[in-house]
Amino acid sequence: MKAEKRKGKRNRLQAWIEARTEARTQAPPQAPTQAPTQEWMAARGGDGGSLGIGEPGEIGEAELAELRVTLAPISESYLRRLLRESCVPLAPMVAGVRQSYLEELEESLIALAAQYEKGDASRRAAVRGLVITAKDHARWASRGSSRQADSKNEMILWMITWLENPPLFPQWVRLRRQRASDS
């Protein structure tokens, strides 16, 4: 059932990409157009059932940059959402900080902590930038309903803790969860 759901999401993403590409080819002759999505996929060995990277690969930062160009103008957050919904495996920097629920937040922050630890100064700054943006979005969302505010405030605490010391975060979150289950 998961495979069918994943395939359905991929098909919706593929249809959206194709519609965007087709709309761009309708542009006036002087307007620059991007290569059709099928060409983008074929150049990467795709079979049309994936985003053109072949299974079981993942979408990395280079593929994300190419998709931004192919689908321009598109916001980064919207593109990330489409890619997440497609169920195609994503590199941690492409997936970003997922905040649908605490388990997903924990998983993404731990993956980003690993990226942070392996990176040089510019890579660490990029990873921190993702988490800071996510924290700011969570703060904005916490201004909504009180039910959502409690959840988002907990997520904000997790992200602030991550920002203070990324390598320590996995141990901190384990202790935090243990304390919550003991209460």
Choose one of 95, 124, 151: the last residue of a domain.
95
Indicate if 43 and 113 belong to the same structural domain: no
- 9 and 91 in one domain? yes
Backbone dihedral region for residue 96 (phi beyond 0: left; psi -120 to 50: alpha; all else: beta)? left
If you count them, how many residues does the chain have?
Answer: 183
Specify whether 174 is located in the same domain as 124. yes
Q: Give the residue carrying structure tokens 């542009």.
A: 27
Q: Which of 95, 116, 141 is the last residue of a domain?
A: 95
pTM: 0.69
Task: Name the DSSP letter for residue 167.
Answer: G
Give the residue numbers spanning the domain of 58: 2-95
Q: Please count the structural domains in the chain.
A: 2
The answer to whether residues 82 and 51 touch, using CB atoms and an 8 Å cutoff, is: no
Residues 6 and 81 in one domain: yes
- Say whether both 13 and 66 belong to one domain: yes
For residue 58, the model assigns a pLDDT of 84
Instruction: Bin 58: left if φ > 0, else alpha if -120 < ψ < 50, else beta.
Output: beta
pLDDT of residue 44: 59
**Cβ atoms within 10 Å, residue 53:** 17
Low-confidence ranges of the chain (pLDDT < 70): 1-13, 15-56
Same domain membership, residue 67 and residue 143: no
Q: Of 66, 95, 124, which residue is a domain's last?
A: 95
